[in-house]
Chains A and B, each alone.
Chain A
Amino acid sequence: MKMKKMNKKAISFAVGMVLLAIAITVFAFYMVFFVSNERIKDIVTPLDLINIQNDAREDVFFIKESANYASQRAVYSVLNEIPMKSSSPYKKYQDIDIWNDCEPDIKKVEEKFLDEFSQEFYSLIKSSDKDIIKNLDGKYVFSLNNNILKLQSGQELEYHTLLEIHAVYKTSVSFEKELPFSLNILSDIHTRSKNAVNTCKDDFDCITEKMNSDDLDDFDFEFTKNGDYIIFTARTKDRFFFNDGTLKYDKISFDYAISLT
């Protein structure tokens, strides 16, 4: 009877030990297959994020390039027909604006630039084959401060990982673009040209000297005398992409006349 009792204790102890061994083994398997897989995901996810960051960088590059080309075309549009302060039609000499009694209206110049820029910019954004870029259509606020064009977006670009661990990568598409020159320069060109003709009359060397200064350094000037007028041709030193019927990559020039009398 005593023997039977001992046998039962031994058996239950042995069974307990076997169960414990099974539990430890199951735990070890769990660690191997579950925890290690989790770690793999942790490590693969950053690689996925690197690819997402690259996608984002490429998209931001496209948006900045759109702004780059749009700004060049907008500069052409402004210089091709500069808005003037005079409300009544100002005088022309052989189809050239006479700048004695009118001057560039910088506020209107900037408005025209921003209007042309936004049209070109959104047109290029919409030409993208990526929906994430197309969705930025109409989401920007544009502002101009001297030669700094600010593009403030009300929306960020969002990228999602495709892996089990879900992550969202956001990147801002608000940025600033430096224009080759401030549009205020048109006002300086106007003042300087009038003063030069008043002082120098038709002495081109003298006019050249007066127009040759650091603040007008982004333009080259040529002069011709035609009747009672000095015809100025202002030409940008930089080349721009613009479209005057055909696409061009050239310097932009515009003419204006100053009366000698």
Chain B
Amino acid sequence: MKLNKKAIIGSGLATVWAIVVIAIILAIFFLLSAVILPFKKTSENVIVTDKFTLIENSESVIALLNTPFEISLSGETVKVPLKDIFILYDNNLVSNLDMENIKPQIKTSLEKAYGSCYAIKYEGTNIFEDNWQTSAYAEKWQQQGEITLTEINLISGKFSFRNLFDTCMIKNRNIENCKMACLII
């Protein structure tokens, strides 16, 4: 009977120690998780949600709107920023012929920075007849709704710019890969 009691005490103590050891292991596990998990969760959160991938970069778009392009006005060649070209075109102050000459310049300027990874739209004018000047690559990503959109209100209307290069950089974080994907030379 006495032995039996000792056995009971021994098994009780063993159980208690087992619980303590398991609790300590669990505590260490959860404490480590608490440190590591936030970053893991955040990176998932950032990449999965639209919040991060749709961050605008209005600074570069404003720079684009301020970029001057050469146009012919009353027989004189003048440099006019893109934002003003929209006003001129809206008010028929620049001929269709001149606009046809300006469009390739704008395209070349955009392609230097973004390759084929851009799309632009100007509300209030049919300056770009098909509105969205998209490459096949941009169109594919656009359908997935994953391209950064920046909308700038001008005096004359709304200018929209979709930037696939920035989206690529956020997703791949490799400038060389993105330059290759966007055909930037």
Contacts and interface: CB of A to CB of B under 8 A. Distances in A.
A66 interface: yes
A85 to B, nearest CB: 35
B179 interface: no
A31 B30 CA distance: 8
B150 interface: yes
B45 interface: yes
B91 interface: yes
Main DSSP-derived SS at the B contact region: helix
Contacts of B42: 39-40, 43-44
Main DSSP-derived SS at the A contact region: helix
Nearest to B153: A62
A20 B23 contact: yes
A62 B15 CA distance: 73
A47 B29 contact: no
A17 B23 CA distance: 9
B154 interface: yes
Interface in B155-182: 155
A244 B23 CA distance: 85
Interface residues of B, number: 51
Contacts of B83: 65
B87 A31 contact: no
B24 to A, nearest CB: 8
Interface string B17-50: 1011011101101110110011101100110000
Contact of A13 (B16, B46, B57, B152): B16
B108 to A, nearest CB: 24
A3 B1 CA distance: 11
B45 A14 contact: no
Contacts of B30: 25, 27-29, 31-32
Nearest to B27: A24
A7 B9 contact: yes
Interface string A14-40: 100110111011011101100111011
B12 A11 contact: yes
Nearest to A31: B34
B19 A14 contact: yes
B73 interface: yes
Interface in B83-111: 83-84, 87-88, 91, 93
A37 B23 CA distance: 24
A119 interface: no
Contact of A18 (B19, B58, B73): B19
Contacts of A14: 12-13, 15-16, 19
B59 A57 contact: yes
A40 B39 CA distance: 8
Residue among B13, B33, B58 with the most chain A CB within 10 A? B58
A198 B38 CA distance: 84
5 shortest interchain CB distances as A-B pairs = A28-B30, A21-B23, A31-B34, A36-B38, A39-B38
